[in-house]
Structure 1
Amino acid sequence: MRHRLWDMTRDRARSLGRWLWQSLSKRFVSFVCLGLFLALRVWDPTPLEMLRVRTFDLYQNFHPREPTPQPIVIVDLDEESLAKVGQWPWPRTVVSDMVANICDSGAAAIGFDIVFAEPDRMSPAKIAGALHGLTPETRDDLMKLPSNDQVLADTLKRCRVVLGQAGYFRIIGHESTGIIKTPIAEIGGDPRPFLLNFIDMVRNIPVLDKAGKGHGMFTITPETDSVVRRVPALLRVGESIFPTLSIEILRVATGQKAIAAKSDNLGLKGVVVAKKLVPTDNHGRIWVHYAPSDPKRYVSAKDTLNGSLAKDFFSGKLVFIGTSAAGLLDIKSTPVNDAMPGVEVHAQLLETILSGDYLTRPGNAIGAEFSVALLSGLLMIFLMPLLGARWTLVLFVVMTGVLTSGSWYLYVEKGALYDVTFATLSTFLLYGLLTYANYSSEEAQRKQVRTAFSHYLSPAMVEKLADDPSSLALGGESKDMTLLFCDIRGFTTISEQFDAEGLTSFINRFLTPMTDIIMSNGGTVDKYMGDAIMAFWNAPIDDPDHARHASIAGMEMMKTLRDLNTEWEAAAKEEGGKYIPVNIGVGINSGSCCVGNMGSDQRFDYSVLGDDVNLASRLEGQSKTYGVDIVIGENTEQLIDDMAILELDLIQVKGKTVPVRIFTLHGDEEMETSGAFQSQMSRHKYLLQTYRAQDWEKAKNFLSECRNLDKEERLG
């Protein structure tokens, strides 16, 4: 007994060890994948960044900035203006008239989203040099007139005008001397290493450059997907720093002499202009919080020239001069509009600054997103084995909803951009990995179960067990079971009729239908022992009615044997051979047994051990002694007391110290209620009484009556 307990403990320990190893192996792979996901987040490749910013685009699409009254107007060189005045570039005198009209209307500041990089070819001196056949007097008169550029410069000098200029990624040969730069104070460190750096810049011609009150960069650098989300507040050309057009307009309009760049060792934090701190990302870019495009922002350039606007139309306004004409190639894609004029991007940036309705990536955003991804991944790894795929998916959906709602709330209420796509995607990929790993493991278990039990159980039972491998305890367990032993009587005499091949064929012909009967009644074939079969019920699959199913199998085996004998008798007559009827005995017993994998480390079988197993084998041997087909134990009789059962005796069996009461199974429940069986049972009762009273003559008489009645009614 002590050795058996030790073996059971060892098997359970091995089973637990295998489970722990498989669980840790799956989790190890999951931990590795989680680590790779987090490393990917640290690396932050372009596709991952695009996924993040496109999520922020969705936020702006669903909830753009609320338009508020702002003193910003766009003077648009639109298609109508080009049709009215002529193709661009217009003569500088026309531009001068436009600027003068805007300035005289009371504009607070004017900014050009245009650069005048070349002298006007329509200046009088240029015309005098280009036209032939002019009289000397006419040529001299033209040469004495001021150039169109000078006319525009004179207008610029009396107005608050910011001239546009653009960065360039290659040297274009402009003079580097005489560059006019806005004073920029550096707070906290040198911002240059973090700024977008250009090799050269496109400037206005010197006469205009000197006349402007400010100089702003209108360069817009779309992101990888060509969408403009962020505009540089400051740009770098060589070692010089220049403000963007919107920042410079605000500086000029408020009369400030300089702006300040605030930074630390991680990058820029913001730009100070007009006593306002404008937050930027580490590279000095401002997230534009777009509002829906509104035609009211625009006024046609032709209307500034023909006097159709009110005299104070531009009073106190910040005016951008740019173009929406498709032919002038200044159309940008933004989160809220696939085709927005570049000048409106600058205008919306300035609206964002004036309204204070910023979009920012807080300094803790990356750390928070990393932490959420880590915690979500760990939850998925540890909860998946506990909750299963279905409930873990529910948890994932709930968690995604909470994270998305939190990110949305922070965007709407705080203008803070927190990304949940990475955490959600990485967690979902982990979920998929764990689900696949569990599926693969379950498939391997199913395959193992099918392989292990395909010879012991019916195909339907094997599939049922494969669908729920958790119901299988391979390490050994104690269960109430029913055992069946079946053996051919007089097998030695029968075997003498056959050669080796014939004997094998005979045994297979006998064992195959008997095995089918056992399996069809939910039994497990433990082993074949020559001409004998050992089977059991209630393992590996639970069978609450195991005693009844085993008893039915025993009766069906007897019926099948009669059919086999008929077949063998006919075959013997046809071949002229000797026919010996085949008789079998069946022993059935129920009780507590130890069932599981039995054997060595190299080889083992799923089998059963216990005193009740040995008793079942002994009962099969008693069937010949008492001249009955099926002998059952007392435990089995108590479980199927509604079937046709007769008590046989109280005997002492080998290995038992107390007598064992045995019974014979005659038939099913229908037979038990029949009049013939009730009559038989009444006589059998007297038989036992006279037998135990040792009244042998009366006992013989009752025995003879019972046998005759059995033959007449064909019972048993």
Structure 2
Amino acid sequence: MRLLPAKFTKTLSKYWKRWLLGMLITAIGVAYSLALFGNDTIARLDNLWAGERMKLEAPTLDKRIVIVDIDGKSLTEFGRFPWSRNVQASLISQLVDHYKVAAVGYDISFPEPDTSSGYNVLEKLSQTELKDVPVLRQRLEELKPMMDYDGVFAGALQGKPVILGFNLSPDQIKGALPKPLFSEADLNGRELLAYNAPGFEANVSVLTQAAAGAGSFSVVTDPDGIVRSAYLIQQVGDNYYPSLSLATASLYLKALAVKPLMTETADQLSQNQLDSGGYDALTILLPGRKQRVIPVGEAMSTVVQYRGRGGPQGGSFRYVSAADVLTGRAPAELLNGTVVLIGTTAPGLVDLRATPVNPEYPGVEIHANLIKSILDNRFKSRPYWAFVAEAGEILVLGLALSFALAALSPIRASLLGVAVLAAAVGLNYYQYSEEDLIFNLAMLVLVIFSLFVMNVVWGYFGEVRRNRGLVSRFGEYVAPELVEQMSEDPDQYNMDGESRELTVMFVDVRGFTTISEGLTPKQLREYINLYLTAMSEDIRSSHQGTLDKYIGDAVMAFWGAPVAFDDHASRGVATSLLMQASAKRLNQDFIARGWPELKIGIGLNSGLMHVGDMGSNIRRAYTVMGDAVNLGSRLEGITKVYGVGIAVGESTRAAAPEFTYRELDLVRVKGKNEPVAIFEPIALAQETDDATRREVQRWHEALAAVRAQRWDEASAIVAELRALSPQRGLYELYVERIAYFREHPPGEGWDGVTTFETK
């Protein structure tokens, strides 16, 4: 009795390995989402997607927030920066008294007293060198209120809705801090884990006391240099201070107080609450018992929601030149009732920060984005249950894809993978843009991609295994290495025609007509099969040549295509020597059987050839053509004339210099006008013995003597060589040639070239 249906059993047997691997990939994704391990690369991918996700939201102009820009135009009209505090006083007076702005935030700090009026110098002179000039002392007292620029600025700040900015510093204490939002004593014994700065660089005391408040420059720079978040609350000693954006927004909203808020009991704390000591939000108390709640994360920070690309052309906030404000040229309707942030974009003064949306983002606009979020009461936040939702999504989609992709065709699997990926990205963006929820996406995308790639690769190797049978069958008839290469990587290897530097070989059996007459048809078939098999194995297996075709008893092969080899000439020469050795081995077997002797001639040439799929509509072949191919064929025929087993062209010898060669002659073959030198390869130079080297050297001396028409010297050397190797047909040829030239001198214009009129 079967426990499982036959169809299910068959499916399980076919796909269980893929399913198991898919489940393993899914499990890794779930483990990462549950924070069982971390990975910097995945975190960087999440950050990258977060930036791209922000860019997708089209910027809208917020008319409530205006940036008064100390730009190049302002510096031209009012001098270099920093400006004297009396200019800053004029700027505040214009903004508040003339333009009726609702709140001003300074993205600039004033930690040092302003002595640019020169009052201190004059006062010192009145006490030293000019102390005998009473009128000077009296006049200075009269001018002091005008020349005390800090006092002038403080007077302009008094009673105005202006928030100054200050820095928290790890190594110094300078200036005076404003009144804190609250202290540790106000927390009733609970701990609030905010960033605790050991020092500060605040504004001079007179300005701090005069302003409506002050806030810290609180941006958080991540290890990769990107500003993605900002602290809303920071601690110095026992006191807690707001950021510039929180203080400015609170002033604009006429907030009564800002306090930390815990929304759940201690045994239900979220991860964000644990990171912030139990508090997961700030509450801004407003008139009329209203309040505005701001969610916060680790160390009382919040994610900055960037809008637009930043700058005057960014499209999110209006920029107004400080010069136009100071001179009254700015339209009143642009500033009336707005929140103004004073910052600078002037060359050399630009406060630029790297952000997810722009590597050069104006720092003042970071505060503008935070203020907008506070005013809109809308923050992008990562819920404490996000990791559970992400793990669940990976688990469900991962298991579903693990089972589905294994059983689908490549096209359907691709469509399903793209559809699931698009749905995951779309849902993530919807949650971000419409529900203001931040969820990580990188691990889910990696799981989907990994499952798809795993199934594609698995299917690919399955196809490769199936193709091997095809290769083995067709490899008997066409070059199997070509079929295999094209089946494994059809994009890289094709049969299109092209010109390429190659080496071609032609091999032929000497006296084949006589051999065929001395054997029965069955014996002749076995004779040829044994010969062709041995030659083909030497070409393909030993040196990876491409077997082109059999032409009766002849063999044609080449090196350098379809797989390119830089050493194609060396492979060809080495193969020709191996084939001669194989022919001698076969010959011993043939003679033992009483069969005719086997001798082969090999022609080898290198050069530019046309290679590709050539032929007719009826039959085609991957082959080579060209003058270099024709010369290789001529060289095979020439071996008979010179009594050698191998003849190679001059280009082959030059491309394979690691062999020892015997030059045979300068020849002009049929169909070519230019003479070429031809050579007989003997062996690798390092394997050539001293006796062979001396013989080759003496032969080249004889050849030089022949070309110089020194017949007696040439005759003596050839006779010496014949005595050493009486069987070498080359020496016999030159004995006859020297005797002929003695009787018929070629004359002074002889070029030493032998011309062949037949193929």
TM (norm. structure 2) is 0.53
Aligned residue for 2:434, secondary structure, equals helix
Partner deviation per Cα, 1:20-75 (whole Å, 9 max, x = no partner) = 789555544444443333444424444323322322322332322433442x2222
**1:692-707 matched pairs, under 5 angstroms:** none
Structure 1 equivalent of residue 26 of structure 2: 34
**1: CA distance, partners of 2:248 / 2:28:** 47
Partner deviation per Cα, 1:469-522 (whole Å, 9 max, x = no partner) = xxxxxxxxxxxxxxxxxxxxxxxxxxxxxxxxxxxx99x969x99xxxxxxxxx
Change in CA separation of 1:313 and 1:418 when aligned onto 2, cut-off 3 Å: closer
Deviation at 1:117, TM superposition (A): 0.6
Which residue of 295, 310, 333 corresponds with 1:279? 295
Partner deviation per Cα, 1:262-288 (whole Å, 9 max, x = no partner) = 355522533222421123344421332
**1: CA distance, partners of 2:272 / 2:11:** 51
Q: Does 1:60 align with 2:54?
A: yes
**2: CA distance, partners of 1:77 / 1:423:** 46
**1: CA distance, partners of 2:365 / 2:97:** 23
Contact 2:70 2:346 in 1 (8 A): yes
Aligned residue for 1:414, secondary structure, equals coil
**1:90-129 matched pairs, under 5 angstroms:** 90-105=83-98, 106-123=100-117, 125-128=119-122
Contact 1:166 1:217 in 2 (8 A): yes
Residue 288 of structure 1 aligns with an amino acid whose one-letter code is Q
**2: CA distance, partners of 1:22 / 1:75:** 70
Change in CA separation of 1:361 and 1:183 when aligned onto 2, cut-off 3 Å: same
Contact 2:161 2:212 in 1 (8 A): yes
Aligned residue for 2:245, secondary structure, equals helix
Aligned residue for 1:326, secondary structure, equals coil
Which residue of 307, 311, 317 corresponds with 1:290? 307
Contact 1:289 1:358 in 2 (8 A): no
Q: Does 1:181 align with 2:197?
A: no
Change in CA separation of 1:295 and 1:417 when aligned onto 2, cut-off 3 Å: closer
Contact 2:221 2:228 in 1 (8 A): yes
Deviation at 1:250, TM superposition (A): 2.0
Deviation at 1:335, TM superposition (A): 4.2
Deviates more, 1:82-91 or 1:284-293: 284-293
Partner deviation per Cα, 1:297-336 (whole Å, 9 max, x = no partner) = 1222122322334678643222211111231240234444
**1: CA distance, partners of 2:211 / 2:332:** 24
**2: CA distance, partners of 1:47 / 1:129:** 63
**1:94-493 matched pairs, under 5 angstroms:** 94-105=87-98, 106-123=100-117, 125-128=119-122, 134=130, 136-137=133-134, 138-139=136-137, 141-142=139-140, 145-146=144-145, 147-168=148-169, 170-174=170-174, 180-183=179-182, 192-193=192-193, 195-237=194-236, 239-263=238-262, 264-268=269-273, 269-273=280-284, 274=286, 275-283=291-299, 284-291=301-308, 293-294=314-315, 297-309=318-330, 314-440=335-461, 443=464
Contact 1:288 1:349 in 2 (8 A): yes
Deviation at 1:401, TM superposition (A): 1.6
Change in CA separation of 1:314 and 1:450 when aligned onto 2, cut-off 3 Å: closer
Change in CA separation of 1:392 and 1:255 when aligned onto 2, cut-off 3 Å: same
**1:2-81 matched pairs, under 5 angstroms:** 24-41=16-33, 42=35, 43-70=37-64, 72-81=65-74
**1: CA distance, partners of 2:406 / 2:9:** 16
Change in CA separation of 1:79 and 1:282 when aligned onto 2, cut-off 3 Å: same
**2: CA distance, partners of 1:425 / 1:391:** 20
TM (norm. structure 1) is 0.55
Residue 215 of structure 2 aligns with an amino acid whose one-letter code is G
Change in CA separation of 1:307 and 1:435 when aligned onto 2, cut-off 3 Å: closer
Contact 1:128 1:139 in 2 (8 A): no
Deviates more, 1:108-117 or 1:296-305: 296-305
Partner deviation per Cα, 1:590-645 (whole Å, 9 max, x = no partner) = xxxxxxxxxxxxxxxxxxxxxxxxxxxxxxxxxxxxxxxxxxxxxxxxxxxxxxxx
Contact 2:163 2:215 in 1 (8 A): yes
**2: CA distance, partners of 1:21 / 1:134:** 107
Residue 221 of structure 1 aligns with an amino acid whose one-letter code is V
Partner deviation per Cα, 1:430-482 (whole Å, 9 max, x = no partner) = 322343345446656877x799x99xx99999x99xx99xxxxxxxxxxxxxx
Deviation at 1:357, TM superposition (A): 4.7
Change in CA separation of 1:95 and 1:396 when aligned onto 2, cut-off 3 Å: same
Structure 1 unmatched runs, 5+? 1-8, 469-504, 514-570, 576-716
**2: CA distance, partners of 1:196 / 1:426:** 36
**1: CA distance, partners of 2:283 / 2:63:** 23
**1: CA distance, partners of 2:110 / 2:25:** 56
Q: What percentage of residue pairs aligned between the two structures are identical?
A: 24
Deviates more, 1:17-26 or 1:404-413: 17-26
Which residue of 73, 76, 85 corresponds with 1:83? 76
**2: CA distance, partners of 1:34 / 1:311:** 60
Change in CA separation of 1:442 and 1:310 when aligned onto 2, cut-off 3 Å: closer
**1: CA distance, partners of 2:75 / 2:96:** 22
Aligned residue for 1:50, secondary structure, equals helix
**1: CA distance, partners of 2:319 / 2:17:** 65
Residue 200 of structure 2 aligns with an amino acid whose one-letter code is M
Contact 1:216 1:242 in 2 (8 A): yes
**2: CA distance, partners of 1:130 / 1:79:** 36
Change in CA separation of 1:214 and 1:44 when aligned onto 2, cut-off 3 Å: farther
Deviation at 1:139, TM superposition (A): 4.8
Residue 272 of structure 1 aligns with an amino acid whose one-letter code is T
**2: CA distance, partners of 1:346 / 1:382:** 49
Contact 1:123 1:149 in 2 (8 A): no
Aligned residue for 1:299, secondary structure, equals strand
Q: C-alpha root-mean-square deviation of aligned residues, in Å?
A: 4.6
**1: CA distance, partners of 2:55 / 2:116:** 46
**1: CA distance, partners of 2:374 / 2:405:** 47
Contact 1:291 1:348 in 2 (8 A): no
Change in CA separation of 1:50 and 1:21 when aligned onto 2, cut-off 3 Å: same
Structure exhibiting the larger radius of gyration computed from Cα positions: 1
Residue 373 of structure 1 aligns with an amino acid whose one-letter code is I
Change in CA separation of 1:24 and 1:97 when aligned onto 2, cut-off 3 Å: same
**1: CA distance, partners of 2:465 / 2:112:** 77
- Count matched residues: 464
Structure 2 unmatched runs, 5+? 263-268, 274-279, 488-521, 531-590, 596-759
**2: CA distance, partners of 1:416 / 1:127:** 59
**2: CA distance, partners of 1:34 / 1:241:** 45
**2: CA distance, partners of 1:261 / 1:400:** 40
**1: CA distance, partners of 2:13 / 2:463:** 15
Deviation at 1:159, TM superposition (A): 0.9
**2: CA distance, partners of 1:405 / 1:313:** 38
**1:504-543 matched pairs, under 5 angstroms:** none
**1: CA distance, partners of 2:173 / 2:370:** 31
Residue 126 of structure 1 aligns with an amino acid whose one-letter code is N
